[in-house]
Amino acid sequence: MDNETLHETTLEHALDVAKANHKEAIRLLEQARASRASGDVGDDRVRQLEGLLKVAEEDLRRVAREQ
C-alpha cells in the first residue's frame, strides 16, 4: 500500500469514527434529556452531554474538511 492510499484509508477511518462519535453523542444527549424529564438525570449531566455533542460536531467538521 503506498502512502497516498494509506493516507486516504486513514482519513476515511477518521471520518467513520467521527460520524460514530457524533451519532453516539446525539443518542446519549437525547436519552439524558428524556431521563431529566422523569427526574432521573440532573441538569449538570445534560449540560455535560451538550458539551460532548459540541465537541463531536467540531471534530466531525474538522475531519470532513480534511477529506
Domain map (residue ranges) of the chain: 3-66
Q: What is the mean pLDDT of residues 4-21?
A: 85
| Cα distance between residue 38 and residue 66, in whole Å | 41
- The reported pTM is 0.85
pLDDT score of 9: 86
Q: What is the mean pLDDT of residues 46-56?
A: 98
Q: What is the mean pLDDT of residues 19-29?
A: 98
| Cα distance between residue 12 and residue 35, in whole Å | 35
Checking if the pLDDT of 41 tops 70, the result is yes
pLDDT score of 52: 98
Checking if the pLDDT of 59 tops 90, the result is yes
CB crowding 47-57: b at 16 or more within 10 Å, else e: eebeebbeebe
CA angle 41, 52, 33 (to 5 degrees): 30
The C-alpha cell that represents 14 in the structure block: 477518521
